[in-house]
Amino acid sequence: TSARTNLYTAWTSCPFFECPSDESYPASCTDSVIPPWPICKFHSVEDWVASAQDSATRCCGDDLTDCKCPKKDDEKFLNKIGEWCQGVDS
């Protein structure tokens, strides 16, 4: 391997580039509620789960009138929210 490859591997395996994890939550839940890097670094797993559970009370189900997401009427949102809700519920 080249020095460049070794440097890249060392750089990307640095904990700075990893999102927080907590094995006390099912992977289906954390996969749904923790956003990708680098945003995932802003809060703990517990914070992301609590925020998602709070949002789920407004954004999961048939009535989205209380959902605060500005994209709640967008087709992309509507296509993904069901899977997200299942993950939060796990």
Q: Please say whether the beta carbons of 71 and 56 come within 8 A.
A: no
User: What residue has token string 């993950």?
Assistant: 87
Separation of CA 52 from chain center: 9
Element (H, E) at 80: helix 75-89
Model pTM score: 0.78
Q: For position 52, what pLDDT does the model report?
A: 97
What is the arithmetic mean of pLDDT over 40-45? Answer: 96
Lowest mean pLDDT among 15-19, 45-49, 74-78: 15-19
**Mean per-residue pLDDT for 2-25?**
76
Nearest to 21 by CA among 13, 9, 33: 33
Query: Does 53 have pLDDT greater than 60?
Result: yes
- Choose between 14 and 47: higher pLDDT: 47
pLDDT at 16: 80
Cα(65)–Cα(87) distance, integer angstroms? 21
Contact status, residue 33 vs residue 52, Cβ threshold 8 Å: yes
